[in-house]
Structure 1
């Protein structure tokens, strides 16, 4: 899965009705993850981009081993499989496959062990979990998709990851919605209680003498 040749560009123009996030938010995050992958070669960023691109229905391949249409049942099955792989769990028994991923033909034990025993594949699976978990509503914060590792396996430093978390949140809130939130904040009167104007007013108010 990690060895895929990436020739795609971010071009998400539609998402299925079951996706819990609006198209502009998903498209914004998809584009950012692609740019982040090209910058870091992070398997987690690659997985997130591929998982979100799959929602558009133009790619036959799903984010894991199987080709599948972007239906909710497949998304939930991919999420379950990716979660187990990311944790490096042992090959699941038949009843697990039926309960958690019944719409997928089970991997062979060799296929599973190859992925669960490889740190790039586990990092990739983690990226799938974060992206599909976000669009399914399992996770609320898009910042969860900020990669933890670079392509060579090194951990991402605190500073860069915090920057990516902030940018992911910004990408997930379309500009017109951010403007509406600011306008609502001003209408609510909150603008008179805090912010630069309030700070300036506080500075202009003489402090009570304690002497």
Structure 2
């Protein structure tokens, strides 16, 4: 694979098909889901469903490994976000023969109160760490994990995710990290919608509605007659 775009084209479309088969992604532009925030959204993502099939886990691992090679990364530790990133970080670390760690959303309130698990010493000691995420939405939780790695004396130039909504807000959130950490995803939102339309999972009108949602996700419901609940 010559470029990351090649990786995304090669693996992304198959991941989209598998995601719909396993209902890791559900699309319902006409009868949107209610997210925990109360916002009505035409998409629901649960990448944990990939865990149900060994072949799906292996395929994601293969795609991540190909991205590592294509991007010219040389990580010395693979870190997963807790909890959804941990299984995929584990399979990738095993494939690459590298140490594994994982990053909690916050430090424990007892014992050593560590936020990062899996380190034999107090810090990463300056090595390059690759962060594995299952989903990048607004980027807030991913960036918090990157900052935890940086605080533990790790270098984290890249965060790899299975899927990203491609919100402008996520790019803005990541742009604030210093040193720079660039997010990449195997499956991008536009590819998901294209595959869903081609497969007849959504109609042409539905595909247009889904494209419109990505532009202004938190104002989409009000515009389409689905006000926020609660």
TM-score w.r.t. length of structure 1: 0.33
Higher normalized strand content (fraction of residues): 2
Q: Which has the higher contact order (CA 8 A, sep 6+)?
A: 1
Larger radius of gyration: 1
Higher normalized helix content (fraction of residues): 1
